[in-house]
Amino acid sequence: MHAEFERKGNGKSHHLKLIIFLIFLGILGFLVVPSIYPVKSITGKFISPFSQQNGTVKFAADLTIPELVLKGKFQDLEFKGNSNSYFYVENEKLRFHSNANYVAMDEYNGEISFNDKTISKLKGKVSKVSLNGLPVESKTMDLMKVSLEDEFNYDYLLIRNEVEIPKLNYNSTGTININNGENILRFQNKEIEIKNFNGNVKVQGSKLNLEGYASTVEIKSGFTVSVSGS
Amino acid sequence: MDKKDGDVLRVRVSRKVYLPVYFMIFVLVSTAAYMKYSGREINPLAFNLMIIFSIFGIIATELHRISNVYEINNNSLVHVKGILFKTTRRTDLLAISDAELKQNPWQQLLNFGNVDAIVFSRDSTTYIKNIDNPPVFLDFLEEKINKKRIPTGKRRRNE
């Protein structure tokens, strides 16, 4: 009887080994395939770059510029301005012109910090980068590390697809346009709060332009005006 | 393989049996590390599954390993199975008629294998599976069987 039990155990053991191997293959495939075929590269041309989720409002805002730290993956990141320092791309150290520079990056994954005058930090990886129209190419097919040596005085900044800001709360002056003009809110030096923003960010001419969707937009003064997705 | 006072040999399942599991964990971790190094995005769910698989693999193999203990002492061949719920099977050395050593090419390469301690009726064979150095185990078993079969006094006369 004991011998029979042992033989039956061997059959179960084979099934178990097969299941473990299939789980391993599944996890390996799940790790590798999305990085080779990211969903956005397949569908990005067919769907809107950022999409409205349930419970959000579409809005566009022109505001004063706070101190912002943005982290994430952005399809495009461009900025113009001047600096006396360097721009690092992998092992290359590129010197900025003293008066006008234009940096354009594709598929940026990293961090950018800026205020109303300077980009204080830029550190991440990109698939493509160009400085003043000249592309800087990677010697391998891998992503390139980029960073700023020092602060960069900018007058134009564009970050597109998709900037996500969980919460933005500060005193501002400006205009907020809700649902393509359904409501337009103008305010001066009021505390605003925007939650779960998802969209594009542009800074030009001392204005911060946010365009996208948010779950809640609040303007607080003696009373609070609040717009949120249904 | 443990030897205690030369009278008792205690063995567990060899870790070499689990090399395929260790290799799978190594492949997963190396793949994730390479993807991180090359700046590629790693799916968070896949990463978590990889961590769970690795931890579970290590724990499960260790538990499986410690759940089977084989011991040869002066009187019997003992197989203790289980961790919380233990089953102990003692086979008197005098009841063992034969012992078979089985190794496939992979096991020969890594020097581990199976020993079948066959009681006169094959229905009660004790299967000692996937142990390190099975020839040493087999020799020790035969030595103990011979010692028990031939009492010390008679052995001296034969010597």
What ranges do the domains of chain A cover?
Answer: 1-37, 57-228
Closest CA of chain B from A60, distance in Å: 30
Report ipTM for this prediction: 0.78
Is residue A42 pLDDT above 50, yes or no?
A: no
Residue B4 is predicted with a pLDDT of 52
Q: Which of B38, B45, B124 sits opposite A2 (nearest CB)?
A: B124
C-beta separation of A77 from A112 below 8 A: yes
- Extended beta strands in A68-182, E state: 68-82, 86-89, 92-95, 101-114, 118-126, 128-131, 134-136, 144-148, 152-178
- Per-residue pLDDT tens digits for B8-43: 999 999 999 999 999 999 999 999 998 888 767 788
* pTM of this prediction exceeds 0.80: no
Residue B127: list chain A partners with CB under 8 A: 6
Degrees, nearest 5: CA angle A146-A147-A150: 160
Residue A16: list chain B partners with CB under 8 A: none
Residue B20: list chain A partners with CB under 8 A: 17
Beta bridge partners of A135: A130
| Contact across the interface for B35 and A23, Cβ inside 8 Å | no
Residue A3: list chain B partners with CB under 8 A: 122-125
Could you tell me the two tokens for A229?
A: 């997705």
| Residue range A92-105: mean pLDDT, rounded | 86
| Residue range A202-211: mean pLDDT, rounded | 89
Q: One-letter amino acid identity for A203?
A: V
pLDDT winner (highest mean) among A50-54, A69-73, A201-205, B66-70: B66-70
| Contact across the interface for A24 and B32, Cβ inside 8 Å | no
Composition of chain B by helix, strand, coil, percent to 5 = 50, 30, 20
Q: Which of A27, A35, A125 sits opposite B50 (nearest CB)?
A: A27
With 0-12 / 13-18 / 19 or more C-beta atoms within 10 angstroms meaning exposed / middle / buried, residue A5 is exposed
| Contact across the interface for B41 and A38, Cβ inside 8 Å | yes
Structural domains of chain B in order of their starting residue, each with its CATH number? 1-159 (2.30.29.30)
Is residue A72 pLDDT above 50, yes or no?
A: yes
Phi-psi domain of B39 (left: phi exceeds 0; alpha: psi -120 through 50; beta: other): left
| pLDDT tier for residue A178 given thresholds of 50, 70 and 90 | confident
Q: Which of B21, B27, B127 sits opposite A28 (nearest CB)?
A: B27
Is A1 within 8 Å of chain B by CB? yes
| Contact across the interface for B40 and A143, Cβ inside 8 Å | yes
Closest CA of chain A from B27, distance in Å: 8
Encode A102-132: b = buried (16+ Cβ within 10 Å), e = exposed.
ebbbebbbbebbbeeebbebbebbbbebbbe
Encode B5-28: b = buried (16+ Cβ within 10 Å), e = exposed.
eeeebebbbbebbbeebeebbeeb
Report the Cα A225 to chain-centroid distance in Å: 28
* Pairwise pLDDT comparison (A171 vs B42), residue with the higher score: A171
Is residue A6 pLDDT above 80, yes or no?
A: no
Phi-psi domain of A118 (left: phi exceeds 0; alpha: psi -120 through 50; beta: other): beta
Interface test with A, best of B22, B98, B127 (most A CBs within 10 A): B127
Residue A58 is predicted with a pLDDT of 85
Residue A54 is predicted with a pLDDT of 56
Residues of B with CB under 8 A from a CB of A: 20-21, 24, 27-28, 31-32, 35, 38-43, 45-47, 49-50, 53, 122-125, 127
Residue B28: list chain A partners with CB under 8 A: 24, 27-28, 31
Query: Considering chain A, what is the average pLDDT of its residues?
Result: 80
Beta bridge partners of A141: none
Q: One-letter amino acid identity for B144?
A: K
- Which residues, 6 or more positions from B98, have their beta carbon under 8 angstroms from its beta carbon? B118
Residue A55 is predicted with a pLDDT of 58
Is A6 within 8 Å of chain B by CB? yes
Q: Which of A24, A73, A143 sits opposite B24 (nearest CB)?
A: A24
Closest CA of chain A from B159, distance in Å: 38
Q: Which of A32, A38, A142 sits opposite B39 (nearest CB)?
A: A142
- A–B interface: beta-carbon pairs under 8 A: 61
Instruction: Return d(Cα B73, Cα B92) in angstroms, integer.
Output: 10
* CA-based nearest residue to B116, from B107, B103, B81: B103
* CA-based nearest residue to B71, from B90, B98, B95: B90
Instruction: Return d(Cα B138, Cα B116) in angstroms, integer.
Output: 9
Cβ neighbours of B154 (radius 10 Å): 10
